[in-house]
Structure 1
């Protein structure tokens, strides 16, 4: 089991945040509209995969989502 963590928006992510997510978090912060004071990121692990979510629902993960396949029935 892996434990998650929290940190403040704009601060350096903790060492437990995977290196490949760091540029994605930085890009999300740079593109984030509106006030961010008091907001925090939360790192959680779902089936061994990292998910980072901001208090407002902004989500960063290592998953690649194909928008064209999102509505296909399997």
Structure 2
């Protein structure tokens, strides 16, 4: 069993977050609008595991996960990942 975790965007991901996701997580965080964040709580990431693969979801709906080839993929939660 693999347990998930939560952390605040802008912080170093916890050790439970696979290194394969770190670059894409950082890329997503660089795109967060600073002026919007000043007026709202800082979004947090949630790491879960789906069929043995890590899935990191930001409160904004952005998801970073690994595809079948082990490559990090970024999508929004309203997009079909199989499209």
Q: Same fold (TM over 0.5)?
A: yes
SS in 2 for 1:14: coil
Which runs of no fewer than 5 residues in structure 1 stay unpaired? none
Which runs of no fewer than 5 residues in structure 2 stay unpaired? 74-81
Aligned residues: 68
Deviations 1:29-50 (CA, angstroms, capped at 9, x unpaired): 0112332633100000000000
Relative to the length of structure 1, the TM-score reads: 0.80
Mapped partners of 1:53, 1:13: distance in 2: 12
Deviations 1:25-71 (CA, angstroms, capped at 9, x unpaired): 00010112332633100000000000000011111011267xxx72x
**Over alpha carbons, which structure has the higher Rg?**
1
Q: Which has the higher strand share?
A: 2
Mapped partners of 1:26, 1:37: distance in 2: 18
Match of 2:46 among 38, 42, 46: 42
